[in-house]
Structure 1
Amino acid sequence: MPGARDMRDSIDVLHEISTILDTGLDRKTLSLLLELIESGVNPEALAAVVKELRREAATLSRQR
């Protein structure tokens, strides 16, 4: 089981990749997503949920 430092290092690397890919995901969100994946959540299903939540947020934002 990875320690806190290993987890922090992993999040740092993921955040760097996320920034390069311009995903808009912050460290906290990446950390939560990583925890869900490590708990057995299907990564593709999780990505679909994130995309849908972004679409919903954009729709709500336009309605204001």
Structure 2
Amino acid sequence: MFSVANEEFSVVTSSSWFRCGNLCKLVLLEISRLLNTGLDMESLSICVRLCEQGINPEALSAVIKELRKASETLKVSENCTN
């Protein structure tokens, strides 16, 4: 736990995402942006909660990549039919 401007923030571990203040969430979002993950706040929040529930982060990353590929393939095929 750390404090900034008299506010306490939890490190994001087991169910602390909900206790984590807005500053903590914004820092995670900025890290996500710097890493070019393409995740918005809602998607990042879902991913963090899944990891807190025990989902393997590497497996989650692989699933997200596959879903993006499938989505892109679907968009391309829809454009070809139009």
TM norm structure 1: 0.84
Count of aligned positions: 64
**Mind listing any 5+ residue stretches in structure 1 that lack a counterpart?**
none
Q: What is the CA-CA distance between 1:45 and the residue it aligns to?
A: 0.6
Matched, 1:34 2:54: no
Runs of 4+ in 1 over 6 A off after TM superposition: none
Distance 2:73 2:21 in 1: 34
Deviations 1:6-62 (A, max 9, x none): 154332111101111221110000000000000000111100100000000010010
Identical amino acids, percent of aligned pairs:
45
Flag structure 2 segments of 5+ consecutive residues without an equivalent. Answer: 1-14
Confirm or deny: 8 A CA contact 1:15 1:30 kept in the other structure. yes
Match of 1:12 in 2: 26
TM-score (norm 2): 0.68
